[in-house]
């Protein structure tokens, strides 16, 4: 009988000990903080220079934070922040002569740094004109792309563009044609349309140039 009581006492003690040793849930553990220079998803190179605001996304409240920006040619710019003085936005100078490609932050000044990236490409422009003759509409689509060395938009010859027509619901666009621009960056696209209709043209995106859609024209 005494042995039985002793065994029950040991079991009870072990049970109590097992309850004490239950691990603390992960949700109760302290969460680590992060500091990040929040680059925009994309930047269009379409002028001689521009200032891109890069805000600091921070949960660590450091006195100071800084990041380098690297692009295809290596180091490009330096971002710095003073959060305790409410200086939480840094300026990135983007020049028209910068090479397109992926730009990344690195070499953060805090141990909690998280890095970001963005894509830079040259900008483009699309223009469409329309002239009606009976049931035929003569569309002329033109495309230009930014040239950083000349600080100007130049004719985009030999480039694909897609022409669309506004559907009768007034919301969706119907595919009409895909064609290639000529030496002057323009191409004629004749189409039949019994009644007045709206049209637009879109330049195709390339590894170095962003696409662009023209304003709609009606004829």
Radius of gyration of the chain (CA): 31
Q: Is the dihedral of CA 211, 214, 216, 217 positive or negative?
A: negative
pLDDT tens digits for range 76-129: 999 999 998 999 999 999 999 999 999 999 998 888 899 999 999 999 999 999
Domains and CATH numbers, the chain: 35-121 (2.60.40.1930), 124-218 (2.60.40.10)
pLDDT in tens, 118-145: 999 999 999 999 999 999 999 999 999 9
Smallest CA-to-CA distance from 93 within 77, 82, 115 is with 77
Q: Provide the pLDDT confidence category of residue 168 given band limits of 50, 70 and 90.
A: confident
pLDDT of residue 79: 97
Decide if 122 contacts 145 (C-beta within 8 A): yes
Cβ atoms of 191 and 176 within 8 Å: the answer is yes
Q: What is the DSSP string of 92-118?
A: EEEETTSPPEEEEEE--SSTTEE--EE
How far apart are the C-alpha atoms of 86 and 109, rounded to whole Å?
A: 18
User: Is pLDDT of 192 > 60?
Assistant: yes
């Amino acid at each position: 009988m005494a042995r039985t009581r002793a065994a029950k006492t040991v079991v009870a003690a072990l049970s109590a000990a097992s309850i004490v040793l239950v691990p603390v849930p992960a949700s109760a553990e302290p969460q680590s903080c992060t500091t990040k220079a929040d680059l925009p998803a994309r930047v269009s190179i379409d002028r001689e220079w521009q200032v891109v605001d890069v805000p600091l996304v921070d949960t660590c409240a450091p006195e100071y934070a800084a990041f380098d920006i690297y692009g295809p040619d290596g180091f490009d710019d330096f971002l710095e922040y003073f959060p305790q003085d409410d200086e939480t936005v840094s300026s990135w100078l983007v020049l028209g002569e910068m090479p397109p490609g992926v730009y990344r932050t690195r070499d953060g000044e805090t141990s909690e740094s998280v890095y970001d990236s963005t894509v830079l490409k040259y900008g483009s422009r699309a223009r469409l004109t329309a002239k009606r003759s009976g049931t035929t509409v003569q569309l002329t689509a033109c495309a230009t792309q930014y040239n950083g060395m000349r600080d100007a938009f130049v004719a985009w010859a030999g480039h694909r563009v897609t022409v669309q027509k506004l559907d009768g619901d007034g919301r969706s666009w119907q595919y009409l044609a895909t064609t290639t621009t000529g030496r002057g960056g323009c191409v004629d696209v004749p189409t039949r349309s019994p009644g007045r209709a709206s049209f637009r043209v879109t330049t195709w995106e390339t590894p170095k140039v962003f696409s662009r859609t023209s304003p709609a024209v009606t004829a």
